[in-house]
Amino acid sequence: GAVVSQHPSWVICKSGTSVKIECRSLDFQATTMFWYRQFPKQSLMLMATSNEGSKATYEQGVEKDKFLINHASLTLSTLTVTSAHPEDSSFYICSARAGTGDTEAFFGQGTRLTVV
Contacts of residue 86, defined as CB under 8 A and 6 or more positions apart, other chains included, come to: 15, 115, 116
Q: Least distance in Å: CB of 55 to another protein?
A: 17
| Residue 110 interacting with another protein (CB under 8 A) | yes
Beta bridge partners of 97: 32, 105
68 is an interface residue for another protein by CB under 8 A: no
Tallying the residues shown for the chain, one arrives at 116
Convert residues 2-41 into a mask of x (bound to another protein by CB under 8 A) and - (unbound): -------x------------------------x---x---
Asked whether the beta carbons of 33 and 95 are under 8 A apart, the reply is yes
Which one of 11, 44, 62, 68 is in contact with another protein (CB under 8 A)? 44
Residue 20: CB minimum distance to another protein, A? 18
Residue 54 beta carbon to another protein: minimum distance, rounded to whole angstroms = 16
Our finding on whether 107 is near another protein (CB under 8 A) is yes
Instruction: State the sign of the Cα–Cα–Cα–Cα dihedral 9, 6, 47, 104.
Output: negative
Any contact of residue 60 with another protein (CB under 8 A)?
no
Q: List, in sequence order, every residue forming a beta bridge with 10; answer none if it has no partner.
A: 112
Q: Contact at 8 Å (CB) between 57 and 48?
A: yes
